[in-house]
């Protein structure tokens, strides 16, 4: 094929180019002028056929890339030999010298194609509903007699009522800061089947024996005359 893909590297740019293998070095320099910004007469070219190999000087402008053995994926290094260019190095990449356009806040607020306008339309961020206007679902009604000190039994999450339900004493009824918040019931179980000692995430809501405390939603609590079970009631005499 007459075309070859090469990479052109200069102090201000790096790009991939498709060039004719029959392109003379003279014509190549003219093609690289708008790419690198270096005048043809100030260009010194070197062809690198592979990484970590020395460059081949493209000094004869009458020869072609094919004459120099150009290969697919080769790199052409372009050096600016003009002494006056030394002080200009990096000026095309230095954005600090670019005059910035600034739009006054009042004009920005009038536009409808900005991020600010998008947030206003969709009530996002500070344009969303304030906490005072957000309505949260109401807590479920509390069972009758649900108060601190009441005896209770707790319905499991599965809702299975066929077995013996765990019993305990209500030690806390109120708002909590863990989970989704809302009203929870703190129960001290008669047996060590709980998850805590009345504390959650470093906050002590009530105090009980370790592994006897748990928090459940009010709907799972049945208040009534539920005495502690005799652990030996099922043994034969």
CATH number of the domain where residue 74 is located: 3.10.20.90
User: Which pLDDT score, from 0 to 100, does residue 59 have?
Assistant: 93
Q: What is the mean pLDDT of residues 86-110?
A: 68
Question: Is 37 a member of any domain?
Answer: yes
What's the structural domain count of the chain?
Answer: 2
Residue that finishes a domain, picked among 33, 60, 81: 81
Which comes out higher in pLDDT, residue 84 or 228?
228
Residue that finishes a domain, picked among 35, 50, 81: 81
Q: Both tokens of residue 153?
A: 């039994």
Highest mean pLDDT among 10-14, 36-40, 85-89, 131-135: 36-40
Partnered with residue 146 across adjacent β-strands are: none
Question: Is 126 a member of any domain?
Answer: no
Which comes out higher in pLDDT, residue 12 or 26?
26
Question: Is 136 a member of any domain?
Answer: no
Q: What is the mean pLDDT of residues 62-66?
A: 94
Give strand ranges (E) for 34-182.
43-48, 56-57, 74-80, 151-154, 167-175
Q: What is the mean pLDDT of residues 200-220?
A: 94
138 pLDDT more than 60: no
Residue that finishes a domain, picked among 81, 106, 124: 81
Partnered with residue 75 across adjacent β-strands are: 7, 48
**131 Cβ contact list (under 8 Å, min separation 6):** none
Question: Is 215 a member of any domain?
Answer: yes
Range of the domain at 12: 3-81
Question: Is 66 a member of any domain?
Answer: yes
Average pLDDT, the chain: 85
Contact 48, 80 (CB under 8 A): no
**pLDDT tens digits along 175-200:** 998 888 789 999 999 999 999 999 99
132 pLDDT more than 70: no
Q: How confident is the model at residue 116 (pLDDT cuts 50, 70, 90)?
A: confident
Question: Is 13 a member of any domain?
Answer: yes
Which comes out higher in pLDDT, residue 115 or 228?
228
| pTM for this entry | 0.42
Contact 74, 47 (CB under 8 A): yes
Nearest to 76 by CA among 30, 14, 141: 14
User: Which pLDDT score, from 0 to 100, does residue 90 have?
Assistant: 57
Which comes out higher in pLDDT, residue 152 or 134?
152
Contact 229, 190 (CB under 8 A): yes
Percent of the chain whose predicted confidence (pLDDT) is above 70: 84
Question: Is 113 a member of any domain?
Answer: no
Question: Is 112 a member of any domain?
Answer: no
CATH number of the domain where residue 171 is located: 2.30.30.190
């Amino acid at each position: 094929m007459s075309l070859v893909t090469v990479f052109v590297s200069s102090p201000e740019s790096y790009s991939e180019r498709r060039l004719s293998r029959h392109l003379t070095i003279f014509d190549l320099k003219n093609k690289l002028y708008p790419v690198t910004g270096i005048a043809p007469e100030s260009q010194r070219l070197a062809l690198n056929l592979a990484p970590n190999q020395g460059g081949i000087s493209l000094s004869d402008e009458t020869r072609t890339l094919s004459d120099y053995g150009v290969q697919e994926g080769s790199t052409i290094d372009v050096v600016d030999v003009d002494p006056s260019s030394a002080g200009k190095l990096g000026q095309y990449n230095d954005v600090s010298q670019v005059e910035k356009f600034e739009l006054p806040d009042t004009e920005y607020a009038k536009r409808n194609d900005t991020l600010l306008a998008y947030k206003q339309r969709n009530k996002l961020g500070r344009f969303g509903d304030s906490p005072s206007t957000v309505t949260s679902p109401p807590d479920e009604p509390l069972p009758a007699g649900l108060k601190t000190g009441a005896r209770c039994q707790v319905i499991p999450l599965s809702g299975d009522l066929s077995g013996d339900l765990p019993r305990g004493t209500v030690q806390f009824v109120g708002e909590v800061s863990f989970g989704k918040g809302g009203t929870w019931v703190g129960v001290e179980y008669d047996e060590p089947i709980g998850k805590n000692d009345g504390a959650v995430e470093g906050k002590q809501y009530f105090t009980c024996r370790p592994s006897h405390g748990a928090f459940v939603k009010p709907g799972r609590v049945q208040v009534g005359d539920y005495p502690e079970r005799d652990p030996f009631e099922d043994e034969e005499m």
